[in-house]
Chains A and B, each alone.
Chain A
Amino acid sequence: MLDRQALQKQMIVEALKCGFTDCEVFYLGGESFEVLLMEGEVSNYENSSEAGIAFRGTYCGRTGYAFSERLEEDCIPFLIDSARENAMLMSEDEHEDLFAGEAYLEFSGYYPELERVCVEKRIQLAKRMEEAALNGAESIASLDYCVLGIGKREVSIVNSLGLDISYTKNFASSYVSAIARAKDETKKGSAFWKGTDWAEFNPEETGRRAAKRGAELLGASSVNSGTYQVVLDGKAMTSLLSSFSGIFFGENVQKGFSLLKDRVGEQIASSCVTLRDDALLEGGYASVPFDSEGVAGKNKALIEKGYLKTLLYNRKSAKKDGVASTGNGFKAGLTAPVKTACTNFYIQKGEKTLEQLFLQMENGLFITDFMGLHAGTNGVSGDFSLSAEGFLVEKGNIIRPVEQITVAGNFYTLLKDILAVGEDLYFSAGGKGSPSVLIKGIVVAGN
């Protein structure tokens, strides 16, 4: 296997010789460690390394792509031939300009200390989390998953315009999911931790949190069908927000896959909503110094107090709209072309505690989880119809758990129907987030 930089540089030289007028070699490397526990024992253990390069370049005025996970010299002719053939299918007006680079802020995403904690110690931490989850509530029968891992990722972009940049970041994470049983009822509660310092990881707290949620959900039943006010907790709202994040992408708006065409400057959400995409958020799970095109990361308000301020752009979609890239041109992996993606994408927290949201709602539902988001959402129309679980709230107090209901609505409408925003900002492992929010009225199917 060839050294990364040597391969990137050699590839560029060869491509220019073969008729490419400019080109870029994107490198993605990673290492991961993961341990899965079952009944106090390590049941699965994984340790791996991977790397690959993705090539893109201009041939006859058109952009061609190809990638390889085989990092040997013999992959160079394959990459060049494929990229040339692929370029010839593209039209010239879809050409992607390469970027020579700009000034970047210092980025500290790599914590070598994280990897220095020995394997035995990591397994110990996982065992403590497992025990805490098993003992966290009387009804906990077993664990569904108990996993702990470390991931490291290295990105480097070298192109024929002189760009040569890279960064490395790593994270530790753990996830536990506990199964609570009572009679013939089974419920699951889960919790995760993600961070860059083992000292901040409290395995007992994480384990107990999973157990508590599982136990709380026991004794659930459905509710009568009807329209309810709901509080969506941070996790539920985040999953909904993630599913519809694409409506804010300039390229989707341009292609008609979003209803936000010509809406910048207009009010599209309730005035208590501010939505940000912040690539530079300190400690953010999705923080990066630059995107896959080498554009420096930025902190943007997409919605400010209800008003749509900007869309998210990569270089190509920005050019079409005559604006600057927002630094959101990302490759979803080696095999993917540069598209638009979010960084730390979240609704800014408000001031209300969860209790205050319940009191304001008075009677309604507290939704803690949505299921089936990949199928039950229509990214174009904004419609969703999702299986959900949570709790029934009466006079501002949780009365009992709720299951076997579906919640249906439209995301565009929901943004306008947010009555209040909580202070409990939650982030998913992917860097998307939201506090709990109170929603005006939503259709629930149950009994």
Chain B
Amino acid sequence: MLNKNVVENTLSAALGSGADFAEIYMEQTKRNSISVVNGKVESVQSGLDYGAGIRLFFQNKAIYGFTNDTSEKNLIRIAREAAAAARGDRVYPLQGWQRMDLACRNPIQIMPDTVEKNRKAEKLYLAAEAAKNYSPLIHQTRTGCLDIVKDVFIANTDGLWAEEQRVRSRFTVEAIASSATEKQSGHLGPGGSVGFELYDMIDVEEKAREAARIAVTMLGAKPCPAGRMPVVIDNGFGGVIFHEACGHSLEATAVARNASVFAGKMGQQIASSVVTAIDDGTIPNGWGSAAMDDEGTPTQRNVLIENGILRSYLVDKLNGRRMGAKPTGSSRRESYRYAPTSRMTNTFIDNGKSTTAEIIANTEYGLYAKQMGGGSVDPATGAFNFAVLEGYLIRDGKIAEPVRGATLIGKGMEVLMKIDMVGNNLARAQGMCGSISGSIPTDVGQPMIRVKEMTVGGRG
């Protein structure tokens, strides 16, 4: 994307004041999205994100600048201005280039930018129709599709020269059921590092009916009772519990500042022994997969927790320096507007030994969270919260009536220790994760799990 002279001159300017490392990241991202409300196109958008970011390290200090004027003159200006913000004790030489050969993790069958928008819109109409026809209680639908083709270029003064094209597609559907006084919604958003073949892999009508089913079920649900009780969280998006309760606190961003409850706990037990958790950026065509991370380290499979024992953090170059740890291929950013930092890719709790039937049957009374909504966590305190999209009470070892408006709260460490059963139906689901380096695609996942006791919030 940039020629060698421009890169060398820019990086040399960056090294001028004694930075010991300099990096240039450039991207061009083509985006297309269509949004359909109640079966009618509401917006269609196409565009080009374009820009470059320059990052300098002076030992453990980082300086970042970005621009979308990528002329040589301006890149050198940005590099010089950045370099002027700090001073090192000697000038480091520029290394020779080593072009990186990247494994192709995500083969694409149908490039999304070659598909006519009409064909994409047709999928959305189909889904809208299917959701509406599910029940007369469905009064509104929103369906959407999004695809991006992102070309990334990274070069740094260690001699790295790497390029990657990342393609992602996602379909979203939301169905809203309403009665005279109430509205409830259900939504799903499957996607992956795939092209238009996404629509051969999923049945949009089936997804739409599923969203509608959740909305209709919740419309008839009573408010969830509040209090402390056992909670069974189902597979797929249920993995958001691990993402929030634990994943964020394992990011070096928090660990290096000693602002994580898991700092200094390597090799120690931080979860119940039935828990093994993995972050794997190499899963073929995974939503959070890529060949390399956003500072050019190849992605890898990181076992974070093995049978309850903390085995690895998620580490980027800068925080790796601060912690004396090796990067784990986990450095990510939304775009050139953000300096990269350690983030999750595809994160999940691995299969355990229980069956889903055993888990339910062994729970006398509790909450069954079939579909989870989103949530958030404060890595410093470990306190998290998340919403239950579709929930039921469990009575006498059987799934009983649906309940709505439930929230789960707790602290990461406590909940991890209280997971007492892990099922064998691992599934992943797609989400967008927001943090200091922007909003990035990540997979969450798990089999069905049971937490012995949790605080459930609700109005019942």
Residues of A within 8 A of B (CB): 1, 38, 41-52, 54, 64-71, 75, 78, 82-83, 85-87, 89-91, 94, 119, 142, 144, 179, 186-188, 222, 225, 255-257, 259, 334-337, 371-372, 374-376, 378, 380-381, 383, 385-387, 403-409, 443-447
By the criterion CB–CB under 8 Å, are A47 and B81 in contact?
yes
Partner pick for A50 among B62, B121, B184, B337, CB 8 A cutoff: B337
By the criterion CB–CB under 8 Å, are A375 and B375 in contact?
yes
Hey, which chain B residues are within 8 Å of A66, CB to CB?
A: 45-47
Q: Provide the bound-state CA to CA distance between A42 and B84, in Å.
A: 13
Q: Provide the bound-state CA to CA distance between A45 and B58, in Å.
A: 11
CB distance from A79 to the nearest CB of B (A): 8
Hey, which chain B residues are within 8 Å of A257, CB to CB?
A: 140, 176
Hey, which chain B residues are within 8 Å of A71, CB to CB?
A: 68-69
- Stretch from B155-163, B308-316, B404-412 at the A interface: B404-412
By the criterion CB–CB under 8 Å, are B381 and A187 in contact?
yes
Q: Provide the bound-state CA to CA distance between A409 and B409, in Å.
A: 16
Hey, which chain A residues are within 8 Å of B69, CB to CB?
A: 1, 49, 51, 71
By the criterion CB–CB under 8 Å, are A372 and B407 in contact?
yes
By the criterion CB–CB under 8 Å, are A375 and B376 in contact?
yes
By the criterion CB–CB under 8 Å, are A44 and B121 in contact?
no
Q: Which chain B residues (335-383) contact chain A, with CB distance < 8 Å? A: 337, 339, 373-376, 378, 380-383
Residue on A nearest B184 in the bound complex, by CB: A381
Partner pick for B373 among A1, A85, A375, A445, CB 8 A cutoff: A375
By the criterion CB–CB under 8 Å, are A38 and B257 in contact?
yes
Pairs A–B under 8 Å by Cβ, sample size 29: A1-B69, A44-B62, A44-B64, A46-B63, A46-B64, A46-B339, A67-B47, A68-B47, A69-B68, A75-B48, A89-B117, A89-B118, A91-B41, A186-B381, A188-B381, A371-B385, A372-B387, A375-B385, A375-B386, A376-B385, A376-B407, A381-B183, A385-B406, A387-B383, A387-B409, A403-B383, A404-B409, A406-B455, A406-B458
Q: Provide the bound-state CA to CA distance between A393 and B405, in Å.
A: 27
Q: Mark B80-98, 1 if CB is under 8 A from A, else 0.
A: 0110011000000000000
Interface size on B, as a range, is 35 or more
Q: Provide the bound-state CA to CA distance between A87 and B121, in Å.
A: 13
CB distance from A316 to the nearest CB of B (A): 11
- Stretch from B32-40, B100-108, B279-287, B291-299 at the A interface: B32-40
**Most chain A CB atoms below 10 A, which of B50, B226, B406:** B226
Q: Provide the bound-state CA to CA distance between A94 and B38, in Å.
A: 13
By the criterion CB–CB under 8 Å, are B385 and A44 in contact?
no
Given A89-B118, A255-B38, CB of A407 within 8 Å of CB of B457: yes
Q: Provide the bound-state CA to CA distance between A372 and B386, in Å.
A: 7
Residue on A nearest B379 in the bound complex, by CB: A144
Q: Mark B395-431, 1 if CB is under 8 A from A, else 0.
A: 0000000001111011100000000000000000000
Hey, which chain B residues are within 8 Å of A445, CB to CB?
A: 226-227, 407, 455-458
Given A41-B61, A50-B66, A69-B68, CB of A408 within 8 Å of CB of B458: yes
Q: Provide the bound-state CA to CA distance between A447 and B117, in Å.
A: 53
Residue on B nearest A65 in the bound complex, by CB: B45
Q: Provide the bound-state CA to CA distance between A85 and B42, in Å.
A: 14
B185 within 8 A of A: yes
By the criterion CB–CB under 8 Å, are A67 and B48 in contact?
yes
Residue on B nearest A383 in the bound complex, by CB: B405
Q: Provide the bound-state CA to CA distance between A407 and B459, in Å.
A: 8
